[in-house]
Amino acid sequence: EHAMEDIDTTFAPNVKAGEIMVAGKNFGCGSSREHAPGVIKAKGVPVIVAHSFARIFFRNAINIGLPVIEIGEQVNHIDAGDAIGVDLSKGIVYNLTKNEQYQGTELPQFIQDIAAAGGLVNFAKHRK
């Protein structure tokens, strides 16, 4: 219930499962524990798109199975309420509202596998 309250007091009560979160530069800076991306994942956000991520937030998000994709300055083309889609395998973000696409940083296959497994612990449990 307190997710993102310092930035947007309406986030936690209004975010719906399946909605993609869009953020600015160095998103997650100051979040040194897995709790920050964990709360966002628990709210049902399947992926975060941002200009860039704080490295520890990026790693923690991957560790818990929350995919993140960086698209740099292109994030400024996305407005609140735009319908967004993401192809993690290609690193592409689709703005369905504006009929645009933005090339982001493609996640390496092993990171995609960790996300698909639901996080690093699940990935390690099922790895052969």
List, for residues 33-44, the tens digit of each pLDDT value. 888 899 899 989
Please state, in angstroms and rounded to a whole number, the distance separating the CA atoms of residues 53 and 32.
12
Number of structural domains found in the chain? 1
* Contact indicator for 65, 112 with CB cutoff of 8 Å: no
Whole-prediction pTM: 0.88
CATH number at residue 37: 3.20.19.10
Distance CA 82, CA 16 (A): 14
Identify which has the larger pLDDT, 72 or 43: 72
pLDDT tens for 83-102 read 999 998 899 999 999 999 99
- Whether the per-residue pLDDT at 47 is higher than 60: the answer is yes
CA angle 44, 57, 66 (to 5 degrees): 30
First to last CA, the chain: 38
Residue 3 placed within a domain: no
Helix axes 109-116, 55-64, angle to 10 degrees: 50
Domain that holds residue 43: 11-122
